[in-house]
């Protein structure tokens, strides 16, 4: 099978995975509408995703042979703009949210101006900008990392969105590899790493602060596979704590 055929297959798979990822945020937004509040959620992941989608549409329009990129990002642009409008409607900090949205518009206009009017190779320049914004999009859920560590509660990080991003990053990395497009391969390689780190953080801090004392008796009322996976992660955390205690005791003996 040729590299082109593999790239076409991965492009189709990537489109399906990305399409599913767009709707992983639906439960989050259903909760926002029901509570009529965004609470401590950040709009940055959705701003970054919307900006990136619009940029990839622009990149695909001026770069031959990027039909998969054009199709899926045209769809995602509509989806994420809808998310942004809903978020703004129920935003706790409307001023901050509006500033993010204005920043998105300004960034896009500046990037397009630099790519189309100040560059000898618009496709390469815009692709480079897409790389940086793509990495920002994958890292954007970590904007609430400080809050998670301080409150020991990861409820402000959408887990399904991070999982979907991680899966999409793996597939699009393969697509970039077989098409020889570094502008697609590099940011998605970063996305694999960042997506994995987000899921690890979410699992470590997944239990709310008032339930920390009941961690040992906590069993998710979910599928068996999910329960086993949670147990596996908990075992890793347990061994990590044991290792830290051993190192600390060795250090104490050395001091004595």
- Could you read off the pLDDT of 196-254 as tens digits, one per residue? 888 888 888 876 545 544 444 333 333 333 333 344 444 444 444 554 554 445 545 55
Q: Answer yes or no: are the C-beta atoms of 7 and 68 closer than 8 Å.
A: no
pLDDT the model gives residue 34: 92
The model's pLDDT over 115-125, given as tens digits with 9 standing for 90+, comes to 999 888 998 89
CA 37 to chain CA centroid, nearest Å: 22
Q: Where are the domains of the chain?
A: 3-209, 219-255
Round to whole Å and give the CA distance between 51 and 182: 20
Q: Answer yes or no: are the C-beta atoms of 100 and 44 closer than 8 Å.
A: yes
User: Rounded to whole angstroms, what are the CA distances from 176 to 7, 14, 69, 97?
Assistant: 8, 11, 11, 33
CA 106 to chain CA centroid, nearest Å: 22
Q: Answer yes or no: are the C-beta atoms of 150 and 90 closer than 8 Å.
A: no
Q: How open is the CA angle 147-39-202, to the nearest 5 degrees?
A: 45
Residues in the chain: 256
Round to whole Å and give the CA distance between 229 and 89: 36
Token digits of residue 187: 């940011």
Query: Does the predicted TM-score (pTM) go above 0.75?
Result: no
Round to whole Å and give the CA distance between 239 and 203: 15
Give the residue among 196, 253, 194, 206 at the shortest CA–CA distance from 231. 206
pLDDT at 1 over 80: no
The model's pLDDT over 115-170, given as tens digits with 9 standing for 90+, comes to 999 888 998 899 888 888 888 777 777 777 777 888 787 777 777 777 878 888 89
How many other β-carbons are positioned within 10 Å of the β-carbon of residue 121? 10
pLDDT the model gives residue 253: 52
Round to whole Å and give the CA distance between 36 and 4: 48
pLDDT the model gives residue 54: 93
Round to whole Å and give the CA distance between 29 and 33: 6
The model's pLDDT over 36-67, given as tens digits with 9 standing for 90+, comes to 998 878 888 788 788 889 998 999 998 887 78
Q: Over the chain, what is the mean pLDDT?
A: 77
Round to whole Å and give the CA distance between 199 and 150: 18
Q: Answer yes or no: are the C-beta atoms of 168 and 22 closer than 8 Å.
A: no
């Amino acid at each position: 099978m040729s590299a082109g055929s593999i790239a076409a297959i991965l492009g189709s798979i990537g489109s399906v995975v990305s399409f599913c990822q767009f709707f992983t945020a639906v439960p989050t937004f259903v909760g926002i509408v029901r509570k009529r509040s965004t609470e401590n959620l950040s709009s940055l992941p959705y701003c970054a995703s919307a900006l990136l989608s619009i940029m990839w549409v622009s990149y695909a329009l001026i770069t031959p042979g990027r039909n998969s990129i054009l199709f899926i990002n045209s769809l995602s642009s509509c989806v994420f703009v809808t998310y942004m409008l809903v978020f703004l409607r129920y935003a706790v900090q409307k001023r901050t949210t509006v500033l993010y949205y204005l920043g998105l518009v300004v960034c896009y206009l500046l990037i397009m101006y630099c790519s189309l009017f100040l560059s000898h190779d618009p496709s390469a320049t815009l692709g480079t900008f897409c790389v940086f914004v793509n990495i920002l999009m994958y890292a954007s859920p970590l904007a609430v990392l400080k809050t998670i560590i301080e409150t020991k509660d990861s409820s402000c990080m959408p887990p399904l969105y991070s999982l979907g991003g991680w899966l999409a990053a793996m597939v699009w990395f393969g697509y970039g590899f077989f098409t020889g497009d570094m502008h697609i391969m590099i940011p998605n390689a970063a996305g694999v790493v960042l997506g994995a780190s987000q899921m690890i953080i979410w699992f470590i801090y997944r239990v709310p602060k008032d339930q920390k004392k009941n961690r040992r008796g906590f069993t998710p009322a979910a599928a068996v596979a999910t329960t086993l996976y949670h147990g596996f992660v908990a075992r890793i955390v347990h061994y990590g704590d044991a290792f830290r205690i051993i190192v600390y005791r060795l250090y104490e003996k050395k001091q004595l």
